């Protein structure tokens, strides 16, 4: 199990490969994380690489039915529905007689893609992107230490991505660094002791998105103004950046909905998960999507 200095979340275990790569795997569901641990342990002892790489992509499937009615997506245009969760794979077998070359190539490709999109804290440090204790630090304390209202690490990541986003060829090896940086940016917000939208305002934001479409923007805007100054300023910098990323959608294939799916549960979550998790996920995504659509109205032109 991972130590507290590597992750503040519960149910986190650490996986180290023979090549020295370190991964942190986590789930809020106790039974799921125990299954992962048992199967991975058995897989490692059996030295079946294909099983290992497949299990790294496991996610929890939300309930198929939502217990309460949720509002429509705030998006102006209709986008293809993207799944926030993949189907839970329940493979328990650890015996594979042989693996052909095509399966090995596919495994390596998927594993490489996984590592690029979900970098470990160790990888980020080795890249030289962070030096001082930044991950897991209280946002207000970090900003006070840096004598600002937006963490320098956040601004550094955003500046680097925007500098290369339009010039970088996807086939260029440097593109891997962009994936590391964007993954590290998301990791920063995921590791905050308290989410950017703060625990005590979670229900308020959910209630705001439930209102009539004409009232949602003003309600969300008023709530953002109630957040601490570092949260407000960091949120503004982040959302303006994500808006620019979406505007380059033809190159990076990112949409309002896809960005909301990625950042919703990271930026906005309850202190204690209660009720239907799938319903919460819908609201989290819709709140982030609404802010992205209304960046100018909420933060000013």
Residue-level pLDDT at 220: 96
Report yes or no: 208 and 283 within 8 Å, Cβ to Cβ. Answer: no
Q: How far apart are CA 222 and CA 190, in angstroms?
A: 24
The CATH architecture one would assign to domain 139-299 is: Orthogonal Bundle (1.10)
Report which DSSP code applies to 94: -
Determine how many CB atoms are found less than 10 A away from the CB of residue 115: 19
Cβ atoms of 298 and 291 closer than 8 Å: yes
- The rounded distance, in Å, linking the Cα atoms of 297 and 300 is 5
Q: How many CB atoms lie within 10 A of CB 291?
A: 29
Token readout for 156 is 């550094």
Distance, in Å, from the CA atom of 139 to the CA atom of 57, rounded to the nearest integer, reads 30
CB neighbourhood size of 259 (10 A): 20
Question: Residue 1 has which token pair?
Answer: 């199990």
Helix or strand holding residue 282 (H, E): helix 277-293
| pLDDT at position 254 | 82
Task: Report DSSP state, residue 25.
Answer: E
Residue 10: how many CB atoms within 10 A of its CB? 11
User: From the centroid of its chain, how far is CA 190?
Assistant: 7
Q: Beta strand 12-16 with 22-26: parallel, antiparallel or unpaired?
A: antiparallel
Per-residue pLDDT of the chain (301 residues; tens, 9 = 90+): 777 667 777 888 888 876 667 788 888 887 788 878 777 776 776 554 444 334 443 333 344 444 455 566 666 444 444 444 444 444 444 444 444 566 666 666 665 665 555 566 566 656 655 555 788 899 999 999 999 999 999 999 898 888 766 544 444 555 456 777 888 899 999 999 999 999 999 999 999 999 998 899 999 999 999 999 999 999 999 999 999 989 876 666 788 998 999 899 999 999 887 766 777 888 999 999 999 999 999 998 7
Q: Is 136 left (phi over 0), alpha (psi -120 to 50) or beta?
A: left
pLDDT at 90: 45
Which sequence spans correspond to the domains of the chain? Answer: 12-54, 139-299
pLDDT at 8: 72
> Which H or E element spans position 289?
helix 277-293
CB contact burial 157-191 (16+ within 10 A = b; e otherwise): bbebbeeeeeebeeeeeeeebbebbbbbbbbbbbb
What pLDDT, on a 0 to 100 scale, did the predictor assign at position 211?
A: 92
């Amino acid at each position: 199990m991972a130590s507290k200095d590597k992750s503040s979340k519960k149910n986190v275990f650490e996986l180290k490969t023979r090549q020295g790569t370190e991964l942190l795997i986590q789930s809020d569901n106790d039974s799921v994380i125990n299954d992962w641990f048992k199967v991975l342990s058995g897989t490692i002892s059996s030295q079946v690489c294909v099983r290992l790489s497949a299990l790294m992509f496991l996610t929890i499937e939300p309930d198929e039915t939502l217990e309460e009615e949720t509002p429509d997506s705030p998006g102006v245009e209709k986008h293809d529905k993207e799944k926030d969760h993949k189907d839970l794979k329940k493979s328990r077998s650890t015996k594979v007689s042989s693996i052909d070359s095509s399966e090995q190539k596919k495994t390596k490709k998927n594993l490489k893609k996984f590592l690029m999109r979900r970098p470990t804290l160790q990888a980020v440090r080795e890249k030289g992107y962070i030096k001082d204790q930044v991950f897991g630090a209280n946002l207000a304390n970090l900003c006070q230490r840096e004598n600002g209202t937006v963490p320098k690490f956040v601004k550094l990541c955003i500046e680097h991505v925007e500098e290369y986003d339009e010039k970088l060829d996807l086939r260029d090896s440097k593109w891997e660094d962009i994936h590391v940086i964007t993954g590290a940016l998301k990791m920063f917000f995921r590791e905050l002791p308290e989410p950017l939208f703060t625990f005590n305002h979670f229900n308020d934001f959910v209630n705001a998105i439930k209102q009539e479409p004409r009232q949602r923007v003003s309600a969300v805007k008023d709530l953002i103004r109630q957040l601490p100054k570092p949260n407000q300023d960091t949120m503004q910098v982040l959302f303006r950046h994500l808006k620019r990323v979406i505007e380059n959608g033809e190159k990076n294939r990112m949409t309002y909905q896809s960005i909301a799916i990625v950042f919703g549960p990271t930026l906005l979550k309850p202190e204690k998960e209660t009720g239907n998790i799938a319903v919460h996920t819908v609201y989290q995504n819709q709140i982030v999507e609404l802010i992205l659509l209304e960046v100018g109205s909420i933060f000013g032109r």
